[in-house]
Amino acid sequence: MTALAFHGVALGHPGGGGRPAVEDVDGSVADGELLAVLGPNGAGKSTLLRGIVGDALLVAGRIERPGRTIADIAYLPQRPEIDRTFPIGVFDFVAAGLWRRLGAFRRLGAAGAARVEAALGRVGLADLAGRPIGALSGGQMQRVLFARTILQDAPVILLDEPFTAVDAHTTQDLVQVLLDWRREGRTVVAALHDLAQVRAHFPRALLLAGRPIAWGATADVLVPAHLDRMRPGDAICQHDHAPPDLGPVRSAAP
């Protein structure tokens, strides 16, 4: 089954005069697939994710979400617009992830509270439920955002640079959440820049530089012939050391 399909898609920024930030996107993402979207800064990774949820200008083509609506997609942007000075605690902030299920005006109840506690435990923050979000470190805040995403219980999850500016331990824990999502049959599309991380954990990859350069099995996409087609001066991260072993990832459906 197909989770997402792109047909001649070109996307731009609202107010940008219709000039595409990414174009000529043709392909599909299967249900349960773990797909990494890679490319240098300005390659169109974030625009592609925003286009999937209708937040980027569709200049040409169409995006299909078979059997689903935008409301069925959880999207964690790279820089969420969150007022960290707002007086809200971690528990209540994470509980907002249940709005899709409960609605804005229904009480959380004991079952909902248990789900919030379980999500916080899953990201290693069970002991910080009462802390204000303004007192969190960057890594702790990213864990909180993952916990809220867990509670959205969405079949399709989009993540834009989810491991930027967090430490290696936090990254290891959050990658495990991604792998758990895949084992649960969810579709995960993540914009990333670390090639070693993608090779270790993502069976399929899309390499972008304003338009797709290659899309398919990661081993076939991340080869010198494709990486050399980046614009001069562009770079994506290549580590000489392997990331922590978080367990095997099965091959994705073709």
Tokens of 159: 């993540």
Q: What's domain 1-68+156-163+186-254's architecture?
A: 3-Layer(aba) Sandwich (3.40)
- pLDDT tier at 252 (50, 70, 90 boundaries)? very low
Q: Which pLDDT tens digit goes with each residue over 201-240?
A: 999 999 999 999 999 999 999 999 999 887 544 556 554 3
- pLDDT tier at 30 (50, 70, 90 boundaries)? very high
Write down the pTM of the prediction: 0.87
Q: Are 191 and 159 spatial neighbours (Cβ–Cβ below 8 Å)?
A: yes
Q: Supply the pLDDT for residue 115.
A: 94
Q: Which pLDDT tens digit goes with each residue over 132-180?
A: 999 999 999 999 999 999 999 999 999 999 998 889 999 999 999 999 9
Residue boundaries of the structural domains of the chain = 1-68+156-163+186-254
DSSP symbols for 154-219: -SEEEEESTTTT--HHHHHHHHHHHHHHHHTT-EEEEEE-BHHHHHHH-SEEEEESSSEEEEEEHH
Overall residue count recorded for the chain in this entry: 254
Whole-number Å distance between alpha carbons of 138 and 205: 27
Whole-number Å distance between alpha carbons of 251 and 254: 9
Burial label for 202, CB within 10 Å (0-12, 13-18, 19+), is buried
**Span 126-134, average pLDDT:** 95
